[in-house]
Structures are given as structure tokens and as C-alpha cells.
Structure 1
């Protein structure tokens, strides 16, 4: 695999990460109006609340995902999604090059 191919794979993965992150959050229950009842997100919130004596701690994973689902990703979330998507695509491209 050439350097250009690897770069294109990483760029495509980064773009995909940015585009798919809001869809993935919505699919597990972190929506624009809050956590959907009966969803995976609701079970995460319940577990976090039980672990913290009835409240979800500010800055916890559940709190951040709830905020992101309601308000959007912002600059930091967009950068994290791009980084994760690019890294995953790069690893897949490298693994494919080894197999071929």
C-alpha cells in the first residue's frame, strides 16, 4: 500500500467518523431532547446514577455523551471523532496491506 492510499484511507475514516458520530449517539439513545427512555443510554445513565448515590457526575462519560447528543459535538468532539475514525481506517488499511 502506498503512502497516498494510506493517507486517503485515513482522511476517509476521519470524515466518516465526523459524519457517523451523531448517528451512533442517536442510535444508542443520546438524542437532541435528552436520553431516550428504555435505550442503552438510559441504562448507562441508571448505572452511573446508582454508582454515584443517585446523581450523574458532571464530566462523566454519560454526562458528556448526553450533552453531545443534545447540543452537538463542538470542536473537541469533532476532533475526537475525526481522530478515532482516521485511526480506525488507518489500522484497517494497514491490516489489509499485510494480508495482501
Structure 2
């Protein structure tokens, strides 16, 4: 359970970077760029503050907050515990 929580927190920045939400901004030709384009089309040319793309970019640029880390750790721990029960 603890390993699942730690792993989930450690992998969030890696996953965000892998899909294009980087500290330097949204990477060209990435999943993140596609999401941003779709969000801009849906919002008449802009990306809504507080929307999914904005939140993910913020996390990719600055990292995740302590509260978010705790939530991700809790979910990761629960998933780890569930998987552990299945594969006993």
C-alpha cells in the first residue's frame, strides 16, 4: 500500500512531462498540445483558467502541491492495496 502511494506521487511529474506538460510550457506536437488546441477551439480561442489543460500545465510547470500529493498518494495506496489483494 505504501509503495503504491509513493509510486503514484513520484510518477505524476514523469507522466505529465511524457504527455507534454513541461516546466518550459506545452511541448509542440504532444498530447498536451492537442488538448490545448481542442480547449482553445471549444472556448473561442482561449484556454479557460481552472480548466483541465490549465491545471495540468500548472502542475507540469511548478510541480504538484502538498494537498494534491496527499490525494495522489491516497489513491495510489488504495490501488496498490487492491492489486495486492487480487494477486495474493
Q: What is the TM-score normalised by the length of structure 2?
A: 0.92
Distance 2:66 2:55 in 1: 14
5+ long unaligned stretches in structure 2: none
Aligned length: 88
Match of 1:33 among 24, 31, 34: 24
Separation (CA, whole Å) in 1 of partners of 2:17 and 2:6: 18
- C-alpha displacement of 1:88: 1.7
Does 2:45 align with 1:68? no
Moved more, 40-49 or 71-80: 71-80
TM superposition outliers: structure 1 runs of 4+ over 2 Å: none
Q: What pairs up with 1:42-53 in 2 under 5 angstroms?
A: 42-53=33-44
Aligned to 1:85: 76
More helix by share: 1
Shift of 1:81: 2.0
Q: What 5-or-longer segments of structure 1 have no aligned partner?
A: 1-9
Bigger CA radius of gyration: 1
Q: Cα deviations across residues 30-67 of structure 1 (Å, max 9, x unaligned)?
A: 00011101000110111111111111111111110000
**What is the RMSD computed on CA atoms of the aligned residues?**
1.1
Aligned equivalent of 1:95: 86
